[in-house]
């Protein structure tokens, strides 16, 4: 089972990271999250690096999570970076690290509200570069892991209309999710793996790590033949999340 990705939209003035493979699966041992390593500059579609880290760890009291972003996460003006959701995410998760949360929905709500406040302060309520995006989603952040002992995955979405920022929304939170979650990637690759009989629900963390690695690597390997994979590439990295901690199974080349 999967959740469809959102197709990339091309524009200038912001950095769009939906051109990535980011997927997660839940096993009896915990969560596995994996991603490719390609990051692209939109103007000229230049590859900035094939070694980027796209998976991050967030901790709080009784909370252990992996998270990742897709969409427009960096905002520029005249070549100068004005706001970066990735950098702001690190500050927010640090601020939340001493708090106690009952559910992932509570953590995600706090995270999105703090990010939105930072966006309003740094970008303003209306922005010309964001107006270049089609109305709707700017970016979304995905979380998978444990809060107060409960396994869950969830997503929050940041939106706009005509460049005016809208309050972010909690898209979903699933507890003990028995799904192969495509946050961003290729449905065609997923379906081909199903047809080949390799998209088998994993039982162990090792099984899950191999399934996620294989999915992301297949997206990378097909970037010349599958339009959904055309901007996916670079080093595949995979992490696991259990109540005890966050661990790399395949480490990123850059942090």
DSSP string for residues in 31-45: EEEEE---EEETGGG
| Residue 219 forms part of a structural domain | yes
Residue burial 93-102, b: 16+ Cβ < 10 Å; e: rest: beebeeeebe
Query: Which CATH number covers residue 95?
Result: 3.60.20.10
Alpha helices (H) along 176-237: 187-195, 205-221
Query: Partners of 165 in the beta sheet?
Result: 160
| Residue 7 forms part of a structural domain | no
Task: Count structural domains, the chain.
Answer: 1
| Residue 255 forms part of a structural domain | no
Residue 48 near residue 39 (C-beta atoms within 8 A): yes
| Residue 9 forms part of a structural domain | no
Residue reference for tokens 């970016």: 139
Q: What is the pLDDT of residue 17?
A: 45
Q: What is the pLDDT of residue 39?
A: 85
User: Hey, which bits of the chain come out as E strands?
Assistant: 14-16, 22-27, 30-35, 39-41, 46-49, 56-60, 63-77, 80-84, 136-147, 150-161, 164-175, 180-184, 237-242, 245-250
Read off φ and ψ for residue 141, nearest 5 degrees: -115, 135
Q: What is the pLDDT of residue 48?
A: 84
| Residue 234 forms part of a structural domain | yes
pLDDT tens over the chain, length 255 residues: 333 343 333 333 444 445 789 999 999 999 999 999 998 765 446 788 999 999 999 999 999 999 999 888 888 776 778 899 999 999 999 999 999 999 999 999 999 999 999 999 999 999 888 888 888 888 999 999 999 999 999 999 999 999 999 999 999 899 988 889 999 999 999 999 999 999 999 999 999 999 999 999 999 999 999 999 988 999 999 999 999 999 999 999 987
Tokens representing residue 251 in the block: 């480490």
- Contacts for 216 with CB less than 8 Å, ≥ 6 apart: 21, 23, 34, 35, 36, 185, 232, 236, 238
| Residue 74 forms part of a structural domain | yes
Residue 227 near residue 42 (C-beta atoms within 8 A): no
CA atoms of 57 and 114, how far apart (whole Å): 17
Contacts 24+ apart (CB under 8 A), 39-47: 39/234, 40/231, 41/15, 42/10, 42/11, 42/12, 42/14, 42/15, 42/16, 43/12, 45/231, 47/233
Q: How far is CA 62 from CA 36, 97, 247, 252, 255, in A?
A: 29, 10, 17, 26, 25
CA atoms of 242 and 147, how far apart (whole Å): 10
| Residue 113 forms part of a structural domain | yes
| Residue 60 forms part of a structural domain | yes
Print the domain residue range for 236: 14-250
Q: Indicate the pTM of the whole model.
A: 0.90
Tokens representing residue 68 in the block: 């990742």
């Amino acid at each position: 089972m999967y959740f469809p990705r959102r197709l990339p939209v091309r524009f200038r003035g912001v950095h769009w990271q939906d051109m990535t493979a980011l997927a997660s699966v839940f096993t009896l041992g915990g969560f596995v999250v994996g991603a490719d390593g390609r990051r692209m500059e939109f103007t000229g579609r230049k590859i900035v690096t094939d070694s980027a880290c796209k998976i991050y760890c967030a901790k709080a009291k009784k909370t252990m999570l992996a998270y990742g972003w897709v969409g427009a996460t960096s905002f520029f003006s005249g070549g100068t970076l004005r706001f970066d959701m990735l950098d702001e995410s690190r500050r927010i998760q640090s601020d939340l690290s001493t708090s106690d949360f009952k559910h992932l929905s509570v953590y995600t709500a706090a995270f999105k509200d703090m990010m939105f406040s930072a966006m309003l302060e740094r970008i303003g309520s209306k922005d010309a570069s964001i107006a270049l995006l089609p109305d709707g989603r700017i970016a979304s952040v995905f979380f998978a892991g444990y809060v107060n002992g409960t396994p869950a995955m969830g997503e929050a979405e940041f939106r706009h209309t005509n460049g005016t920022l809208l309050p972010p929304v909690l898209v979903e939170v699933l507890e003990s999710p028995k799904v192969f979650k495509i946050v961003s990637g290729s449905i065609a690759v997923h379906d081909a793996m199903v047809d080949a009989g390799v998209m088998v629900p994993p039982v162990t963390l090792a099984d899950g790590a191999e399934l996620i690695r294989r999915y992301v690597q297949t997206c990378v390997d097909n970037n010349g033949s599958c339009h959904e994979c055309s901007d996916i590439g670079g080093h595949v990295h995979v992490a696991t999340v259990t109540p005890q901690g966050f661990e790399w199974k395949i480490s990123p080349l850059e942090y």
